[in-house]
Structure 1
Amino acid sequence: MASEVEIRLDEDDLIVSKTDPKGRITYANRRFMEIAGYSEPELLGKPHNLIRHDDMPRGVFRFLWKTLHAGQEFFGYVKNRTADGGYYWVFANITPDYMSDSSLAGYFSVRRRPNFAAVAQVSDWYRQMRAIEAQETPSKAPEASMQWLIAQVEQQGISYMDLINQLEELPE
């Protein structure tokens, strides 16, 4: 792996992917492949966490899956890893995708350039969440850091979505 070189998305970049219900990639747009550094055969059928960066706390993904399993869409900041060891931040919107009979077909994700002032704030939270996870057993770590995140939102006195909207409005 190369050193951690950051790729910054352009203002008009959209990274799009679809997965099956288990999170295996069934579609990746060309921009996703270009930024992540993977070919289509290297992505299709693979778990989406192939691009998960080690700096991402497991509690964020616990919260993401809890949100999706409740049938809601998820918005959040995610640091992804490229094939060569670099990274890129995205503002992700992930939604459940249903078939005509209302059964779950999978998930649809659109990622775009994040507000980098928000990334600075979120990075601090993620460091704290990883520290919490490091103090827990592997089975308890995701839940412990997710609960910490939920407590941080509650301390703001607003909903998670309101907090995300506020972060997106920060001046860069």
Structure 2
Amino acid sequence: MEQTAMGRGAGREVQLAPHELIVTKTDPSGHITYANRVFMRVAGYAEHQLLGKPHNLIRHPDMPRGAYRLMWQTLQAGHEFFALVKNATVDGNYYWVLANVTPDYDPQGRLQGYYSVRRPPSRGAIAAIEPIYAEMRKIEAGQGKASAPDTSRDWLLALLAEKGCSYQDFILGLNADVLKAKGVAG
């Protein structure tokens, strides 16, 4: 029986090298159709263990479901999505990424799937998002399973509205130094 990311222990952090990028592609339902070698090495999966599997195979239990609800709503509206994500490896370790997920359309405008490019986030960004995600998980634990992701997403959006920014602007702001050093931001 294959081990899945859900329900494993905390493990140790695996860090991407500053120059490394993780790249994956999925079909419209989120099943992996491509994974680069960096992803396979970091997550600890062989290609045959990934292709055709749901991308949430690497979901870490520390990630609030509300963050994924926000991601899917953004993507289904046709917009790209930036997030800080804690993923699980096959052996129970974890790694943080600054993820950029983009819808992929054919020439006729039909959704073909999603591209995701992930890079190492700043340590300060991780430190800033961890208490926010912890509060979202706490909110989710006090809710019914069906309503929990919406409730924690709404809390997150209200928190950021108080700060006068969107989730994407917040995430990009936390990582501005990393992106500027990579030549991604001006």
TM-score bracket, normalised by the shorter chain, equals over 0.9
**Distance change (3 Å), C-alpha of 1:6 and 1:154:** same
Query: Which of 2, 15, 26 matches 2:22?
Result: 15
Query: Which of 105, 110, 119 matches 2:117?
Result: 110
2:167 maps to a residue whose letter is Y
Contact 1:2 1:84 in 2 (8 A): no
2:174 maps to a residue whose letter is L
1:59 maps to what in 2?
66
* Percentage of identical aligned residues: 53
1:76 maps to a residue whose letter is A
- For residues 24 and 161 of structure 2, what CA distance do their matches in structure 1 show? 31
TM-score (norm 2): 0.89
What SS does structure 2 have at the residue aligned with 1:145? helix
Question: Number of residues paired by the alignment?
Answer: 171
1:80 is aligned to 2:90: no
1:126 maps to what in 2?
133
What does the per-residue CA deviation read over 1:128-163, in whole Å, with 9 as the maximum and x for residues that have no partner? Answer: 000000000000000000001101110101233322
Query: Which of 53, 58, 64 matches 1:46?
Result: 53
1:155 maps to what in 2?
162
Query: Which of 12, 19, 35 matches 1:28?
Result: 35
- For residues 114 and 10 of structure 2, what CA distance do their matches in structure 1 show? 31
1:144 maps to a residue whose letter is T
What are structure 2's unaligned runs of at least 5 residues?
Answer: 1-7, 179-186
Contact 1:117 1:170 in 2 (8 A): no
Contact 2:67 2:153 in 1 (8 A): yes
- For residues 67 and 25 of structure 1, what CA distance do their matches in structure 2 show? 19
What does the per-residue CA deviation read over 1:50-101, in whole Å, with 9 as the maximum and x for residues that have no partner? Answer: 0000000000000000000010000010000000000000000000001121
- For residues 44 and 177 of structure 2, what CA distance do their matches in structure 1 show? 30
2:75 maps to what in 1?
68
- For residues 66 and 122 of structure 1, what CA distance do their matches in structure 2 show? 20
Over 4 Å off, 4+ runs: none
What are structure 1's unaligned runs of at least 5 residues?
Answer: none
Contact 1:71 1:96 in 2 (8 A): yes
1:166 is aligned to 2:183: no
Shift of 1:3: 5.8
